[in-house]
Amino acid sequence: MAVEDATPTRVDHRRLERLCVQLFRCAGLSADHAGIVGAALVETDLRGVYTHGVIRLPFYVRRLQQGGDNPNPTLRIERETMATAVFDGDRAPGHVVSHHAMQLAIEKAKAAGIGYVAAKNSGHFGAAALWSMMAIEHDMIGVVWTNGPPVMAAWGGKGAAIGNNPLSLALPAQRHPPLVFDGAFSKVAGGKVRLAAKKGERVPDDWIVDAAGNPSTDPNDLPNGGALLPLGYKGYGLAVAAEALAGLLPGGAILDEIPMWFQFPGQPTRISHVMMALHIEAFSDVDHYKRRVDELIDQLRGQETAAGATEVLVPGEIEHRMVVSQRRDGVELPRNVVEDLRTLRREFGLTQDWDP
């Protein structure tokens, strides 16, 4: 893979979001759906999760153009109870499906104390934390789990057999920013390996294996028959649990029934997600709960630091700091990503230059 110019530049997040929305409109999405996806990608970059942000916009556009994702979906509830639903995304972009499915889970939690929505026939939904954090605004706990295309080896296996199936949990606090966990069950996200390839860098030898199942430091081995390594047997077990809850339960696709979304832009991915909202007041006094989350954070952050560490952090803290600084200073984007956006502008006939 050719090494691309990854020298960063700063882009105002509002201007970046307007451009993303404009490009998705040109790719065929409605104004509402383009707004959802554009805002999600920019928010992801604001949080410093660059592997799942605007860098992926060209892939999503190609999927809309080539038919893998449906630009005009009919979103529908396939079956439901007061607290649960099966939501069919009709091959819409995963960000669109996730936004509407979590909204449905929140409405159900308001009525029943818990909302559990299993969404199927979706696309890649980006960073899981975006969707779990939606619940926080309603004094709820958000839980999100997804399956995905096989990118990770099974425990004891050598080839890509299962998705790394990220999980996110978001808890509201009172004095502190929300406590937000978002992580996949491979040793590292595949996006970090692809980013290393773009930069011409090597990766640690415990991140991936090559096509023969041997540990590799060459990130280009991943798309050439290689696989991510699981986060031990526990990570592998949790990835299997995601297949059961997100894929099997609503009658969705699992394992190799899900094609690699960026390698086959003309094929539906049929990814499935779990969107769950827990209404805190159904279990506890809301203010008391938030104070207790603050106490949890304070106790963890108050621990004595280990040798070489400067502070003890809690999940979501680094991302919150990134949001504060990048809203102020602009989103940091590699120049090759900026050039990708300019290329798409020209492709869609948007003649006015875009200068970040």
Structural domain boundaries of the chain?
1-66+316-355, 72-186+230-315
- Count of alpha carbons within 13 angstroms of residue 303, beta-carbon side: 12
3-state secondary structure of 160: strand
Task: Find, among 185, 301, 311, the residue nearest to 240 by Cα.
Answer: 185
Q: Which residues of 260-271 are buried (b: 16+ CB within 10 A; e: fewer)?
A: bbbeebeebbbb
C-alpha to C-alpha distance for 148 and 271, rounded to whole angstroms: 6
The CATH number given to 72-186+230-315 is: 3.30.1370.60
pLDDT range class, residue 99, cuts 50, 70, 90: very high
Is 90 exceeded by the pLDDT of residue 78? yes
Q: What is the DSSP letter of 261?
A: T
Domain 1-66+316-355 has CATH 1.10.1530.10: yes
pLDDT of residue 350: 86
Judge whether 1-66+316-355 and 72-186+230-315 match in fold: no
Q: What is the DSSP letter of 36?
A: H
110-119: pLDDT as tens digits: 999 999 999 9
Alpha helices in the chain (DSSP H): 13-26, 31-46, 57-66, 94-112, 129-132, 190-199, 232-242, 286-301, 317-329, 335-347
Higher-confidence residue of 314 and 354: namely 314
pTM confidence score: 0.94
137-188: pLDDT as tens digits: 999 999 999 999 999 999 999 899 999 999 999 999 999 999 999 999 999 9
250-291: pLDDT as tens digits: 999 999 999 998 889 999 999 999 999 999 999 999 999 999
- Phi, psi angles (nearest 5°) of residue 225: 90, 0
pLDDT of residue 238: 98
